[in-house]
Amino acid sequence: MSEKVESGNTGPVKADQVIDLKGLLCPMPVVKLSIAVKKLPTGAVVEGIATDPGVMADIPAWARTSGNELISIDQQGKEYHFVVRKVK
By CB under 8 A, name the binding residues for another protein.
Answer: 23-28, 30-31, 33-35, 62, 65-67
Task: With CA atoms as reference, report the closest residue to 33 among 78, 74, 83, 71.
Answer: 83
Q: How far apart are CA 50 and CA 19, in angstroms?
A: 9
Q: How many CB atoms lie within 10 A of CB 6?
A: 7
Q: How far is the CB of 66 from another protein (least distance, A)?
A: 4
Would you say 12 or 31 has its CB closer to another protein? 31
**Nearer residue to another protein within complex by CB, 22 or 81:** 22
Q: Catalytic positions, please?
A: 26
